[in-house]
Structure 1
C-alpha cells in the first residue's frame, strides 16, 4: 500500500534537513519511492502514501515550518501512516535516553494518530543564523550531536512497517 513517501522538515540551519535526507536514503534502500522537501514548499499530500515530518527544536517548540505543515495538512495526515521526529539537543542526551516530544508535538500526535516520534541530537556550527545561535556558539556549546546510526535504525523500522503493509 505505502510505496511513495514524503519526508518533510522544518529547519533553520540545515541540521534537520540532513536528518531528513538520511531517513529518505534508508527508505529508498528499502525499496520505497521517496521525496524529501522543505515543509514550507509542500502544497498537497495527494500523491504520498505515507509521511515523515521532522522539525528542529527551538526554545521548546518545533520549527514553525513543521508546525504550519502539520496544521495545513492535518486532514490528509490523519488518513495515512505518519511519523514525526525532532532534532535539537546540543549534547549527547538524545543518544543516551528517550526524549519525549514537546507539548505541541504531543498534541499533534494524538490528533493525527502518529505512529511514532523520536528526538535526535542537533547540530549547530559556525555560520549558523540567528542571535541565539550566535550566543550558543560563543559559549562553546555548538557541535554536531546527530547520531546517524540511530537515525538509520529508526528509518529502517519505518521502511519495514511500510513494506510489510504492502505485503499484507
Structure 2
C-alpha cells in the first residue's frame, strides 16, 4: 500500500503554494507515495495521512499564521507521524548558499512534535504582492524570486527515499 503524504502550507502571495506543489509532485514521481499539497487553513483532518510536510512563508521572523495554526490544531496527530518542515523567506541567494536554521517558533514546534528535519528555501516577492510592507519591498527593487527549485526537488527526493525505504535521515 502506498504511503499517503500531506504537504500543508501557509502562504499570503502564493509562492509557498508552488513550493508545496513541487514537493508533492516529486514525492508522487518517486513511486510508492501518494502526495497532495493543500493550503493549511483548509485541512480539517490529518488522520488519513501516513506522513506530513508543513511549510510556511516567513514574515517578520515568524512562520505564516496558517502554518502555525495548523501545527497547533493538529499537533497531537502530527507528533505520531513522520514530519518535516520547510520555510521560505530570504529575498536573496542566502538559502541556496548556506543552511539557514529555523526561526525560534518553528524550532520549538519541531522539538515538541519530533519533526525529522527543516529547511529554509529562498523567498519570492513580486509585483502585485499583497500587504503594505510587501508592496514597499517590491517597489524599492528588493523583491524577486529566489526559490531554487533544484534544491526543493532534492529535499523532496530525500523525504521520498526515507519514506519508501523506512530509513530515517536528517
Q: What do residues 41-84 of structure 1 show as CA deviations (whole Å, max 9, x unaligned)? A: 00111110000000000000000000000000000000000000
> Residue 59 of structure 2 aligns with which residue?
58
> Residue 86 of structure 2 aligns with which residue?
85
Q: Please give the residue correspondences for 1:90-129 in structure 2 after superposition, counting only pairs within 5 Å.
A: 90-129=91-130
> Residue 25 of structure 1 aligns with which residue?
25
Aligned Cα RMSD in Å?
1.2
Shift of 1:2: 6.7
Shift of 1:146: 0.2
**Kept after mapping to 2: 8 A contact 1:2/1:162:** no
**Kept after mapping to 2: 8 A contact 1:2/1:49:** no
**Kept after mapping to 2: 8 A contact 1:2/1:50:** no
> Residue 12 of structure 2 aligns with which residue?
12
**Kept after mapping to 1: 8 A contact 2:52/2:82:** yes
List alignment gaps of at least 5 residues for structure 2: none
Mapped to 1, the partners of 2:59 and 2:128 lie a distance apart of 17
Tell which has more relative contact order, 1 or 2 (C-alpha 8 A, sep 6+): 1
List alignment gaps of at least 5 residues for structure 1: none
TM-score (norm. length: structure 2): 0.96
> Residue 155 of structure 1 aligns with which residue?
156
